[in-house]
Amino acid sequence: MIYPLQDLPEFTILLNKFRIFVFAALASSQISCGDGDYSSNSGPDPGAESSFDAPADSDKDIETVDASGFVAGGDITYALASSRSGNCETYVNSYDSKVIDLTTGKVFSGRVDISFNGNKCAISSNGIPNHNMGEGGFFPNAISNVNQSYEFTSSPQIISEPIKNIWKVSVVLLNGGVVDILPAACYGVGNSPLGREKIGCGSNYIDHPWRYDPMSSLNDFGTDIHNAHVQPNGLYHYHANPMAIFDGDCNNQSTASPVIGFAADGFPVFGSCILDQQTGLVREVLSSYKLKDGGGPRKTVNGYQTPIAGNGNIASSNYDGQFRGDYEFVENSGDLDQCNGMAVDGQYGYYVTNSFPWVLNCFSGTPDDSF
C-alpha cells in the first residue's frame, strides 16, 4: 500500500528504522544486483530533505491524482500514466514529486525532465521515483539522489536478431526510475561459498545459465513492495513491475495499460493490462516463458556447474525459477515474443508481466549507448 505523506503515522517510520537496524547484520547475506557502475550518471547527490514534515502540496493519494500528470508536467507524486502513445515526444515536459524513504523517514524531492532533440528523446532525473520507497524491503545501502540521463531513438526499428545483452539499465520509466533486470550473482561465480554468491557475475557472463532471478521467492534481494532496492551508489532501481505508474488490477480496467517508460532501444514499455481482441475484455498480458521440462530436474550445461539442492541456499535440483536459466521461451504459449513484447495496432512495445521475464528479456531494437 502507498500512503499519502500526511497520513503516514510516525510509528511506521520508527518501525522501519528498527527493522533496518535489526536486519543490518543480514545485509551481507543479500545478493547484489549489480556492480553499481552507471557510467551515464554523475553519481550520488546527498541532497535529500531529512525532515519528516512534508509540504502540504505533496499530500496526494494515488486515487485522486490527475492521471494526465505524465503528459501535462508538474507534480506527479503518486500519479498514474494515462497515454498509450509510443511517441516519446508526447511526454516532453518537466515533472517533480515529493516522497519518503520509509526506512529512514527522509523526504526526497524527485525531478524528471523529458526532452526531444529531433531524432532522440532523453529522460534525465535524480533517480527518485514518484512514490514512497522501502516498504517491506531491507536496504543495505542508503538511498541517494543519483543524477542520470538516458537517450533513445524516437523512431525505433525491429532488428533481424534480438540483442540478448540486457546488462545494467535496460528501461527508464516516466517517473525517473530505472529498471535493471539482471543481478550480479551467478551460481559458481565469485569468491562466495557455493550457493551463496552475491557479486562478480557481470556482462562477461551474460550467457551464464545459472544467474539468480531477483524476483524468485527463493532468493533474497531485499526488494520493497515496488520490486526495487538500492545500489551501492545509492540508486533506487526496479527489477520488475514497479507497482506504480499504472493500475495493475486488470479485471477492473476498461482500457489497456498506458506507456510507463521506454527501453534502451526506444520502444515503449506498457503496463500489464491488454485488450483481448477476441473477447473485447481487458485482461492481464501473458508471458511466453515456462519452466523447463515442466519443472523437472536441471540438466547439465557444458562449462557450468549445475545448481544442486543443499549447496548454500539452493532450494532444489529442479527447474524451480530460482535461476533465470530455469525458464525457456515457448512460442505462442502466451501473448508475447521472446523479448516480452508484441505489436498492437502497429505499435510494438514491451509489456510488464507478473511472471518471468518480468519486463524484457532482450532488445528487439538497437539499444542506445547512453544506457
**pLDDT (0 to 100) of residue 33:** 61
**pLDDT (0 to 100) of residue 34:** 54
**pLDDT (0 to 100) of residue 11:** 43
**pLDDT (0 to 100) of residue 8:** 45
What strand order describes the sheet that includes 178-179?
Answer: 228-230, 236-238, 178-179, 171-173, 259-263, 268-270, 347-351, 341-344
Residue pair 186/121 in contact by the 8 Å Cβ criterion:
no
**Residue in 284, 332, 324 with CA at minimum distance from that of residue 304:** 324
**pLDDT (0 to 100) of residue 15:** 47
**pLDDT (0 to 100) of residue 276:** 97
Asked if omega into 55 is within 30° of 0 (cis), the reply is: no
**pLDDT (0 to 100) of residue 214:** 96
Using CA of residue 335, residue 336, residue 340, residue 344, what is the dihedral sign? negative
**pLDDT (0 to 100) of residue 141:** 95
The strand pairing partners of 179, in sequence order, are 171, 238
**pLDDT (0 to 100) of residue 146:** 98
**pLDDT (0 to 100) of residue 18:** 44
Over the Cα atoms of the chain, what is R_g?
20
Going residue by residue through the chain, which has 371 residues, state the pLDDT in tens, using 9 for 90 and above: 433 443 444 444 444 444 444 434 444 445 556 544 333 454 544 445 543 333 333 333 333 344 456 998 999 999 999 999 999 999 999 999 999 999 999 999 999 999 999 899 999 999 999 999 999 999 999 999 999 999 999 999 999 999 999 999 999 999 999 999 999 999 999 999 999 999 999 999 999 999 999 999 999 899 999 999 999 999 999 999 999 999 999 999 999 999 999 999 999 999 999 999 999 999 999 999 999 999 999 999 999 999 999 999 999 999 999 999 999 999 999 999 999 999 999 999 999 999 999 999 999 999 999 99
**pLDDT (0 to 100) of residue 49:** 52
